[in-house]
Structure 1
Amino acid sequence: MIIGLEQYKTKWNIHTDSAIHPGLGAIKAALEELGNPHHVGKFIHLAGTNGKGSTAAFLSAILQAHEHSVGNFYSPCIEDLHDQIQIDGKPISPDELASAMQQLSLVKTPLTDFELLTAAAFVIFQKRAPDFAIIEAGMGGALDSTNVIDPKIAIIPSISIDHTHFLGDTIDKITHHKAGIIKKWKPVIVGELPQEAMDIVQETADRLHAEVIQLNYLTDAPLKLKGAHQQKNASLALEAAKELLGLEFNEEKARHGLSAATLAYRFERVLPGVIFDGAHNKASVDALVATIKATFPGRPIHIVMGIFRDKDYAYILRQLETVSDHFTFIDFDNERALPARKLFDESRSERKTITNLCDILPVYGGKEETIVMGSLYLLAVLRNSGRSFFQHYQS
């Protein structure tokens, strides 16, 4: 469940389905009832396995550095659903979301939770009228509820295996979903994709007369977001900004924007000695391990971990065991959560333990760096928890 959504649904007597139902029929019908707010504005659409949020944050910062107002629709939320919809880097207010939900309460078409939030974002963007609105697909692309827009540009940062229950278990199947955000005559910017994926993207673009712009250089701008993969995401955002701004594009302003960009849970130092990272699939864990090796060479690492059950946890553990021999596995309250015992049994580490959210006071300080990683849901709960982590370390 998305944190905080139930209070709005209860207040405005909105009934939705918390399950995922890929398809555009319901969202299109609901938006039609609302007067099609998604037909107004300059949209940028992102789909991909990893890198969407970071690329969106970089692009937003570049556009703001050029004195443009920018709306962002992120997936999932960071702390609560208000920061899932942002204007110029600031979460919308409860009053603003309440006003949108009041409008949505009049919609007769049944929606899922994510469709409801997608529609709310479009309603808010129509009212606030930012110069640009950057929309991150929730999952996949072709059948994702965000795929009702006609964007100025599409961006696909990466493609790898994830969400196999919905998208399929091969690069071929997954790419056909992601490539669904490409629109006729509109350019698509792509990161380093597997050749099989690149072929499908190119075929889709050719059919739609869309230009494919491939990442062929890396920016050297200093970034707050750490890791070689973030240089790639920043470069994608830079290329997108050049396409969107044309002659208005200014290199100095763009570098300033890139250097200022931040995003929670991307190797985020939340306290001295404590980092949060939302790595939860093969590609993102590979990037996390590379970043740990580059940032803390030879430093003892304590991994605190909790993930969903549909992830390749054996692979994730094998990779993490190359940088750490100390693990704490978390049980957390979510129907998709993988029991900590599964992680414990699979782990080859001799220094391992199981805990839960109420008792999560991992050993901290001294020579170890604590990396709390895995489910973004878990990290959001930890950040919000009354017995947090933070209170322990700040006391």
Structure 2
Amino acid sequence: MIIGLEQYKEKWNIQTDTAIHPGLEAITAALDEVGNPHKVGKFIHLAGTNGKGSTATFLSSILQAHGYSVGNFYSPCIEDLHDQIQLNGNPISPIELDHIMQQLSHLKTPLTDFELLTLAALLVFKEHQPDFAIIEAGMGGALDSTNVIIPEIAIIPSISMDHTNFLGNSIEEITRHKAGIIKKWQPVAIGKLPVKSINIIRETANMLHADIIRPKDLGNVELKLKGPHQLENASLAMEAAKEVLGQNFNEEQAIKGLSSANLAYRFEEVFPGVIFDGAHNKASAEALVKTVKELYPDHSVHVVMGILKDKDYINVLRELETISDRFTFLDFENERALAAEKLLLECAIKRKTILKNNDILPVYEKHTVTLVTGSLYLLSLLRNDNYSFFRHYQD
């Protein structure tokens, strides 16, 4: 049985707002109520459009390879609520999260769902005191509820157009939100960013006396996470590890950590020829297309897609149409999900269909790769349903 946030809220009579309300006033007041757990421990903070989860996983693996304990707060969940909060790669148990939610049931400050989860993660890390806690911003940076910490280093892997209804309609506006995680005298590591973004980050960093760290070429390091963009994320994690570990950094241990790092739904082959990847904006779709061309150059591609309506689904479609002549669209259970019918109408490919409820997806075809993509929420639902729409393949 999957236990979601709603069950905890109902059990402990916690009232939260499911909408997004950027700002730090509520989270700051709530933190004060529970003893300011964000002031204890060493934090690493990530913001960016794509690559946060992969970079955080690489960095966590490097640090653990050096013998350090690591906490992670991911956004969104990978499979269910509990894996958003991890200790040394293990999701928090329902028993422990229940204990934390009981403590939070006494809060007087009204919070959103994400603010509640942020607070829960910080309480877990205060209780377990990992050597490092790696915190991933939910959206933006400056006004994200995670931006209450003072990190050892801030990391911004990428910046592109996303969440424009909250962050603005230009790269400059979005960058200013992401740059909000940079703190005075603390370094910031950045990936391959647009020139306009680099200029804004340089301006912010100079004002705050923060050093800017750029990734270097890793060379021939074998990674479980596939695609050239993952080499960039791994390099960024390596440079961040050098910064936070100083003289304790060991390159051999770092490479060992990088090589063992893995994360669900990042070009993950769940069955032979069936790839799950959570590409949900233009930049991540571009990276996905590049990886498919590199690893499956002689295969036809069948795209299976479901996506949230607040994502840039038109540009995601346009990118995927460059490698596929066959699309199947899915409806899935999420209040933000875009109707499959809308995707069908927008898709420019002639060979397209909608997979109805309880239908089985025929995926076992020679020289064909099936790409299931569009939303991490969709991929999580499919995995938790034990891939039931792949039964034909498994049989």
Scaled to the shorter chain, the TM-score interval is over 0.9
**Residue 115 of structure 1: aligned partner:** 115
**Contiguous gaps of at least 5 residues in structure 1:** none
Deviation at 1:324, TM superposition (A): 0.9
Contact 2:185 2:211 in 1 (8 A): yes
Q: How many angstroms apart in 1 are the aligned matches of 2:208 and 2:290?
A: 37
1:332 aligned counterpart, secondary structure: coil
Q: How many angstroms apart in 2 are the aligned matches of 1:145 and 1:281?
A: 23
1:211 aligns with 2:227: no
Contact 1:223 1:261 in 2 (8 A): yes
**Residue 235 of structure 2: aligned partner:** 235
1:361 aligned counterpart, secondary structure: coil
**Residue 98 of structure 2: aligned partner:** 98
**Alignment CA distance shift 1:258-1:37 (3 Å):** same
Q: Once structures 1 and 2 are overlaid, which stretch shifts more, 362-371 or 280-289?
A: 362-371
1:167 aligns with 2:176: no
- The 5 A counterparts of 1:16-55 are 16-55=16-55
**Alignment CA distance shift 1:252-1:386 (3 Å):** closer
Q: How many angstroms apart in 2 are the aligned matches of 1:219 and 1:8?
A: 46
Q: Once structures 1 and 2 are overlaid, which stretch shifts more, 378-387 or 23-32?
A: 378-387
**Alignment CA distance shift 1:43-1:184 (3 Å):** same
Residues 130-184 of structure 1: CA distance to partner in whole angstroms, max 9, x if unpaired? 0000000000000000000000000000000000011011001000000000000
Deviation at 1:189, TM superposition (A): 0.3
1:354 aligns with 2:378: no
Q: Once structures 1 and 2 are overlaid, which stretch shifts more, 353-362 or 367-376?
A: 353-362
Deviation at 1:348, TM superposition (A): 2.1
Deviation at 1:390, TM superposition (A): 5.0
**Residue 71 of structure 2: aligned partner:** 71
**Residue 141 of structure 2: aligned partner:** 141
Deviation at 1:362, TM superposition (A): 3.8
Contact 2:360 2:391 in 1 (8 A): no
**Which one-letter code corresponds to 2:92 in the other structure?**
I
**Residue 251 of structure 1: aligned partner:** 251
**Alignment CA distance shift 1:99-1:334 (3 Å):** same
Q: How many angstroms apart in 1 are the aligned matches of 2:190 and 2:115?
A: 26
Contact 1:328 1:362 in 2 (8 A): no
- The 5 A counterparts of 1:4-15 are 4-15=4-15
Contact 2:363 2:393 in 1 (8 A): no
Structure 1: 4+ residue segments shifted above 6 A: none
1:366 aligns with 2:346: no
Q: Once structures 1 and 2 are overlaid, which stretch shifts more, 292-301 or 354-363?
A: 354-363
Residues 211-254 of structure 1: CA distance to partner in whole angstroms, max 9, x if unpaired? 11122433431100000000000000000000011111111100
**Residue 321 of structure 1: aligned partner:** 321
Deviation at 1:363, TM superposition (A): 3.3
Contact 2:274 2:363 in 1 (8 A): no
Deviation at 1:99, TM superposition (A): 0.8
* RMSD value, Cα: 1.4
If the length of structure 2 is used for normalisation, what is the TM-score?
0.97
1:179 aligns with 2:154: no
Contact 1:358 1:387 in 2 (8 A): no
Deviation at 1:358, TM superposition (A): 3.1
Seq. identity, %: 69
2:358 aligned counterpart, secondary structure: helix
**Alignment CA distance shift 1:151-1:314 (3 Å):** same
Deviation at 1:92, TM superposition (A): 0.6
Residues 182-221 of structure 1: CA distance to partner in whole angstroms, max 9, x if unpaired? 0000000000111111011011111111011122433431
1:67 aligned counterpart, secondary structure: coil
1:344 aligned counterpart, secondary structure: helix
1:359 aligned counterpart, secondary structure: coil
**Alignment CA distance shift 1:167-1:362 (3 Å):** farther
Q: How many angstroms apart in 1 are the aligned matches of 2:372 and 2:387?
A: 16
**Which one-letter code corresponds to 2:86 in the other structure?**
Q
Contact 2:363 2:390 in 1 (8 A): no
Deviation at 1:366, TM superposition (A): 2.5
Deviation at 1:65, TM superposition (A): 0.2
Deviation at 1:357, TM superposition (A): 5.0
**Residue 335 of structure 1: aligned partner:** 335
**Which one-letter code corresponds to 1:315 in the other structure?**
N
Contact 1:219 1:235 in 2 (8 A): no
**Which one-letter code corresponds to 2:160 in the other structure?**
S
**Alignment CA distance shift 1:357-1:138 (3 Å):** farther
**Contiguous gaps of at least 5 residues in structure 2:** none
Q: Once structures 1 and 2 are overlaid, which stretch shifts more, 70-79 or 215-224?
A: 215-224
Deviation at 1:317, TM superposition (A): 1.7
- The 5 A counterparts of 1:257-268 are 257-268=257-268
Deviation at 1:351, TM superposition (A): 1.5
Contact 2:362 2:392 in 1 (8 A): no
Contact 1:332 1:356 in 2 (8 A): no
Q: How many angstroms apart in 2 are the aligned matches of 1:25 and 1:115?
A: 11
Q: How many angstroms apart in 2 are the aligned matches of 1:85 and 1:285?
A: 27
Deviation at 1:393, TM superposition (A): 3.5
If the length of structure 1 is used for normalisation, what is the TM-score?
0.97
Residues 304-354 of structure 1: CA distance to partner in whole angstroms, max 9, x if unpaired? 001112223222222111111011011122222221122112222222101
Q: How many angstroms apart in 2 are the aligned matches of 1:360 and 1:13?
A: 39
Deviation at 1:391, TM superposition (A): 4.6
